[in-house]
Amino acid sequence: MMKRPAWAEKTPLMQDYYDHYWGIPVHDDRQLFEMLSLELFQAGLTWQTIWQRRAAFLTAFANFDIGTVAAFGAADIERLCENKEIIRNRQKINAVVNNAQVIIRIRENKMSFDEYIWQFVDYTPQRLILKAGEKLPAQTTASQAMAKQLKKDGFKFMGPTIAYSFMTAVGLVNARL
């Protein structure tokens, strides 16, 4: 039986997320964009709330195709704000579109989003070992630095807590048991 943290034992959905997604290094630009987007939607909500709506988010945001989302206009924003299957927060929706546009600019500078993201950990997953019962920190100096640079580069809705949650979700920080 796989050893999981308490949060991953709560539901079969969270077990599956832990077993097959959380903390496993991601190097695909589309998947990284998807997880960054889902993490920003999670702000103020539980991850389970977001993950159980993942299929709806994938449909609403064109499978998180970066070029397609970057081209979303006012009509697309309105459509998303009316979609009851996702989190209808205009600020978060606008941030996802903006962030796709920033990724396009990063790519125009001859760097993949994968390279851009992994540079924050020198292209090597950082191991975090927690003591029994110890909770993941909400943020770290690395996530503070990452959030600061992401904001400087034009990303929206990106603070150190969202950055750290993203870092652990996509395996930049390995906190798996």
Q: Which residue has the tokens 């964009």?
A: 33
| Identified catalytic residue from 17, 18, 22, 118 | 17
Q: Is 17 considered catalytic here?
A: yes
| Identified catalytic residue from 7, 21, 47, 115 | 47
Token digits of residue 39: 């993490």
From the CB of residue 1, how many other CB atoms can be counted at a distance below 10 Å?
Answer: 3
Residue 15 φ then ψ, to 5°:
-60, -45
Q: Is 108 considered catalytic here?
A: no
Alpha-carbon distance values, 177 to 18, 127, 128, 164 (Å): 10, 11, 10, 17
What is the C-alpha separation between 135 and 142, in angstroms, rounded?
A: 17
Q: Is 47 considered catalytic here?
A: yes
| Identified catalytic residue from 18, 22, 34, 39 | 39
- Supply the residues annotated as catalytic: 17, 39, 47
